[in-house]
Amino acid sequence: MKILFINFTKFWGGGESWTYQVMDELRKRNHSIILFSNTVSELKLLAEQNNFTTYPFKINKLTYLNFLQVSRIKKALKETKPDIVILNSSIELKTVGLILKSSGCSKIICTRGIPSPMKMKPLKRYLFSNVVSTVIVNSNYVKNSISNIAALLKTEPEVIYHGIHPATLIEAKGGTKNIAIIGRLSNEKGVDIALKTMQEVLKSEPDAKLWIIGDGKEKEKLVRLTSELGIQKAVCFHGFTKNIENLLIQCSILILPSRWEGFGLVLLEAMKFKIPCIAFDHTAANEIIEDNITGYLIPNMDPVLMAKKINYLIANPEIAIEMGRKGNKLLTEKFTLEKSIDKYEKLFEQL
């Protein structure tokens, strides 16, 4: 089957990481994979390095009105003749939706990983009603958040959890006082909340360390907050890396203090290395973490309670290790990449 992925995002994020994994796994299953991307794109660079067929386009908010770019996209569609088209988000749908319809593409999937209602202007309503075959969401949390478009769709949104390869020859050392947070340094990831949590942790565990793995526009602000809270010696900004495992295995706990999160792929990464996870209960984390079994779910975005749970696991490393083992077992039962790709293929057959 020939499958076209359309992702015009310039930066590398969780969505791009997942898109690449799906592309790679489907190719291993003998599907032909094509990528339409922005000319400036981290995903495009990685795809090209690994010999995927890519078509770069200079994309902006008004591309769908640009006759030259529309013609180029139409020409690429005519050359590739995809059986299935997977759009990264409603942004890609707005950009190429009318082009896809006029080119005769009939099996079009739009993905959604942001847990918030869509603003349904007339063009978008038309596209979801007349162009999109179905929507894939990465959690029930996201599915519930887009209930406002349900009446427009031909079929109910399909929940397909993200997954990873669970096999590994290494695991976290356990018993350390290093706490990991992984993600973009932006407001929704709640790194500022993690810093305030850490201030509480240090009252009982003065040797604890918070390892912040990621980069972003709020870094300077967060570095200042670290100093204001007087915890700069306990916090390390490791920056962005695509190879997080070397850092993660030196930690005993992973926290996810996000203000919103469509899924939380980093939780699976921690479970892979048998690390217990602590997250706020209002996000999709409650579809991944089994409270008091593989980690903790914190109500009301309470940093003080999160700190208490962190301190408890630091003081009781045997409990943290057991939670990590149970999390790893849950990962292999429910969140493998193989299970995710199986569901993608089943959906393709149904369209």
Tell me the per-residue pLDDT of 146-196, one tens digit each, with 9 for 90 and over: 998 888 998 999 999 999 999 887 888 788 999 999 999 999 999 999 999
> What pLDDT, in 10s, does the model give residues 186-222?
999 999 999 999 999 999 999 999 999 999 999 999 9
Q: Are residues 300 and 260 in the same domain?
A: yes
Do 124 and 141 share a domain, yes or no? yes
> Which residues, in sequence order, are CB contacts of 68 under 8 Å at separation 6+?
none
CA-angle at 162, arms to 16 and 289, nearest 5°? 125
Same-domain status, 96 and 194: no
Question: What pLDDT score was predicted for residue 283?
Answer: 84
Contact 74, 105 (CB under 8 A): no
Mark whether 342 and 322 lie in a shared domain.
no
The range of the structural domain enclosing residue 97 comes to 2-163+336-350
Beta carbons within 8 Å of 183's beta carbon, 6+ residues apart: 14, 189, 191, 213, 214, 256, 258, 266
Indicate if 204 and 99 belong to the same structural domain. Answer: no
Both 45 and 109 in one domain: the answer is yes
Does residue 117 share a domain with residue 259? no
**Confidence band for 118, pLDDT divided at 50, 70 and 90:** confident
Is the domain of 58 the same as that of 133? yes
Q: What is the pLDDT of residue 223?
A: 97
Q: Are residues 150 and 192 in the same domain?
A: no
The Cα 197–Cα 306 span in angstroms is 7
Claim to verify: residue 276 and residue 294 sit in the same structural domain: yes
User: Look-up: residue for tokens 């290093």?
Assistant: 178
Residues 295/277, Cβ–Cβ less than 8 Å: yes
β-pairing, 235-239 vs 253-256, is unpaired
Task: Identify the CATH number of the domain in which residue 246 sits.
Answer: 3.40.50.2000
pLDDT mean across residues, the chain: 94
pTM across the whole model: 0.90
**Could you give the number of structural domains in the chain?**
2
For every residue of 243-263, DSSP letters joined together read -THHHHTT-SEEEE--S--S-
Q: How far apart are CA 295 and CA 320, in angstroms?
A: 8
At 223-244, the pLDDT tens digits run: 999 999 999 999 999 998 878 8
Within a domain: residue 9?
yes
